[in-house]
Structure 1
Amino acid sequence: MQLRKLLSFATEAITAGLAFAFVLLLLFKPEAFESRPSVEFIEAPSPTRQAIESGLASYAHAVDIAAPAVVNVYTRKVVTQRANPLFEDPLFRRFFGDRAPAPQQRLENSLGSGVIVNDQGFILTNNHVIQGADEIEVALHDGRTAAAAIVGTDPESDLAVLKVNISNVPAITFGQSEALRVGDVVLAIGNPFGVGQTVTSGIVSATGRSQLGLSTFENFIQTDAAINPGNSGGALINTAGQLIGINTAIFSRSGGSQGIGFAIPVSLAKGVMKQIIEHGRPLRGWLGVEVQDLSDSLAESFGLGDIQGALIAGIQPDGPAAEAGLQPGDVIVRVNNEPVSGSRSLMNVIASLAPGTVLEVEILRQGQTQTLEVVIGERPQPLLEQAR
């Protein structure tokens, strides 16, 4: 009987203690009784092969198509380092005789990239990649290497064409650079810093960039795809693996990529390459004039109002313009019935014409409009390649 009372007392004490603990926990730790939601994530399904190849999830398919046609270009040239000019001074030689040290020679290596454009082994690259080179070697994506010969160069567009004698070379497919829109996804393939073939991605930031001082004829695609030293001459492709540009230059304060790169559109590169292969040089039209933009102050001084055009500042003697009767002070306002917006647009139009083309030029001379016919000549080749 006494044991039963003891068990009953213990049970009541435990129950009271649990109730008291529950009250304390409820007062001081109410969050312990709050319900917690289960952690869930929204996970996308695994991409299908069709999605990958369409470029929605990956650009690997485009790289697989284009990368085999992109090559690494290695150049070597012998640089002669002359002795101190003091050794050429007659007074110095009088005291020290003919003990001047011989000129020192050293081998200078550089690197870049290129793109195989057909199964004959022609390679498109930048002129500044191979400028002054004594030896050129290319390395293919599949590991093969070969010596390359220069077919021709065009310093004014910074393009060059090489040739390798290798069988079964992969060739890239040309796209339509004219159809590019700002915001289109692009990929840059090249050999930055000599680390090996590398792919970077970005978008088209702008088209038709000019007046950058990079070359005479400029119509660049601007992209934020990372382009670094060694990428020059490599391929800028679209998500279909088609060539749309030749990577050429970067704008950088540090020497590295800062999201502003420039590529020559394939529409320009294709025309220059075709002429180099067929004629050994680019054939461009030439008017034989020195022109400048018609600024507001010049237009006011000539009494032209808001008329746009290009002012002829000089005439090449015996050139096409001189033979047609053009004179300094004339303002070219239209060519072939198309308006001229400035000196650069005029130069690009003339350069795009084949030598021998008859061009109608509308000018303003002393307030009077005249139309003259000019037989376009061939633009002289630059005497010295532009240094880079």
Structure 2
Amino acid sequence: MTRRRSRFSPWPVVLLLGALAAYLSPQWNGSQLFGLTPPEVSSSHRTAPGADVPIPAALSADARKLFNEVRPASVQIEQLGTDGSGGLGSGFFISDTGLLLTAYHVVDGARIIRVRTVSDKVFPASVVGFDNAADVALLQIQTRGKVPFLPLAARLPRVGEKVLAVGNSRGDFLQPRRGRLLALNAEAGRADFPEGTLEMSAPLAPGDSGGPILNTAGQAVGVVSYVRVDGDGNTLSSYAVPVTSGEGLIAELKSGLKRDVPAIGLYFDTVHDGATNPPGGVIGGVVQGSPAARAGLIGLTRGADQNVKGFGDVIVSVDGVRTRSADDAIYEIRRRQIGQTVTLTVDRNGVRRAVRLPLVAKGSLSFSQP
């Protein structure tokens, strides 16, 4: 997939979980840290009420019939991370042997993954393969019996066609979200979101990530990846990673592909992002044991009241390319490969220095609250 650099500023729009902080590796952590389409972190959430929840009356007869057919193949995914935090997302079976697709950010960093079906059965699951940049993961549940599954469509839907999502947002359990396809190959608007997505009018929200996007024939055409909401939490637009039966990525995931993204172990602070003088990517925190930590990079310092007491390093260029924001820095990092090195120019209280860092796999770093 060729990335076209976007200059869209995401600042007026609250992405996904509201005001968040971005960092060089796509990982979500509570209300302050964010990266590639977060797992919907929740310390407490409504668990599966089974199949007794009424279907919204607003659904048309055709949509109601479709939803009843596809719901048994959709699942709720709960995960417990290595740092003790929990997450909630969605997914769907693509084979009767228990293979299922979800968004990678839903299970990123998970120590324990549980899959709950519409019949309220719970299965442990493991990751078979993933592509972090594409935000797609393939899981396998531990089951001896067969499960209902959704066929993958042979082609993508066309702009204007109706689509149906099934997810677990807003405290619901495997409920429908109806809409139309607005665009193909939509730009993410952020360097750490997947490009080439499907844009839809379906009113999705955190918790729906990883769930299926279905055409009118009940075939899966996408995996929910991220949403944009306004300051009041109203959905502006929803996005899904496209999947089809001929997709090479699906075959790679089945073969065990585990494709990560390069990282150096930084969190960014979006509150002050691009607002410093000179403007740059404001480091909010550093992952312990990471290349950034070993290089002596530092983030913001806060008092006991959590108010900022002082700035640390601000990234103003990567390999000589000017970076005026965290998004610029993330974009430049993502253009490179794991195992390569980059040279950051950082500004600390008006003094600049060059720092040379190796790029490591994001999954090799242990992200937690800085």
Q: TM-score range by the shorter chain?
A: 0.5 to 0.7
- Contact 1:62/1:238 (<8 A) preserved: no
Residue pairs, 1:108-257, within 5 angstroms? 108-166=85-143, 167-178=145-156, 180-213=157-190, 215=192, 218-254=195-231, 256-257=233-234
Structure 1 residue 253 displacement after superposition: 2.8
Give the counterpart letter for 1:69 in structure 2.
A
Residues 110 and 281 of structure 1: is their aligned pair in 2 closer, same or farther, counting only changes over 3 Å? closer
Q: Deviations over 1:295-330 (max 9, x none)?
A: xxxxxxxxxxxxxxxxxxxxxxxxxxxxxxxxxxxx
Give the counterpart letter for 1:383 in structure 2.
A
Structure 2 residue 74 is matched with structure 1 residue 61: no
Give the counterpart letter for 2:80 in structure 1.
R
Runs of 4+ with >6 A deviation: none
Structure 1 residue 200 displacement after superposition: 1.1
Residue pairs, 1:290-305, within 5 angstroms? none
Structure 1 residue 273 displacement after superposition: 2.6
Structure 1 residue 269 displacement after superposition: 9.4
Residues 127 and 242 of structure 1: is their aligned pair in 2 closer, same or farther, counting only changes over 3 Å? same
Residues 212 and 75 of structure 1: is their aligned pair in 2 closer, same or farther, counting only changes over 3 Å? same
Structure-2 residue corresponding to 1:77: 81
Give the counterpart letter for 1:64 in structure 2.
N
Q: Deviations over 1:46-99 (max 9, x none)?
A: xxxxxxxxx9843122112211111000011242xxxxxxxxxxxxxxxxxxxx
* Greater strand content: 2
Structure 1 residue 122 displacement after superposition: 0.9
Structure-2 residue corresponding to 1:384: 362
- Contact 2:225/2:239 (<8 A) preserved: yes
Partner of 2:113: helix, strand, or coil? strand
Structure 1 residue 259 displacement after superposition: 3.5
- Contact 1:124/1:159 (<8 A) preserved: yes
* Greater helix content: 1
Q: Deviations over 1:30-53 (max 9, x none)?
A: xxxxxxxxxxxxxxxxxxxxxxxx
- Contact 2:167/2:174 (<8 A) preserved: yes
Give the counterpart letter for 2:230 in structure 1.
R
Residues 213 and 164 of structure 1: is their aligned pair in 2 closer, same or farther, counting only changes over 3 Å? same
- % identical equivalent positions: 26
Structure 1 residue 139 displacement after superposition: 0.1
Question: With structure 2 as the length reference, what TM-score do the two structures score?
Answer: 0.52
Give the counterpart letter for 1:253 in structure 2.
D
Q: Which has the larger radius of gyration?
A: 1
Residues in 1 aligned to 2:258 and 2:169: alpha-carbon distance in whole angstroms: 29
Give the counterpart letter for 1:151 in structure 2.
V
- Contact 2:128/2:256 (<8 A) preserved: no
Structure 1 residue 117 displacement after superposition: 0.7
Greater RCO (Cα-Cα under 8 Å, separation 6 or more): 2
